[in-house]
Amino acid sequence: MTLTLTPNIPDPDGFYDMLLAAHEGLSKEDSDALNARLILILANHIGDRDVLRAALAAAAE
């Protein structure tokens, strides 16, 4: 299993704009909570523990 670590999002600037818009007007605490929920939703979508472990390792580098 290999993680895709190269750019792979169509219209990455558009996605970044959506992400920023989701955080607009939120307090630091609410923004952190949104990030945590997003991480858990995406982790649940992935579902594969080996992929999640590899992603955690890559993020920690």
Domain ranges of the chain: 26-60
Alpha-carbon distance values, 5 to 11, 43, 53, 59, 61 (Å): 16, 16, 14, 10, 12
* pTM attached to this predicted model: 0.87
> pLDDT of 8-43, one tens digit each?
999 999 999 999 999 999 999 999 999 999 999 999
Residue 58: pLDDT band with limits 50, 70, 90: very high
Residue found under tokens 């955690």: 56
> pLDDT of 47-56, one tens digit each?
999 999 999 9
* Token code pair at residue 25: 């007007």
Helices 12-23 and 28-46 pack at an angle, to 10 degrees, of 130
Identify which of 23, 18, 21, 45 has the alpha carbon closest to the alpha carbon of residue 34. 23
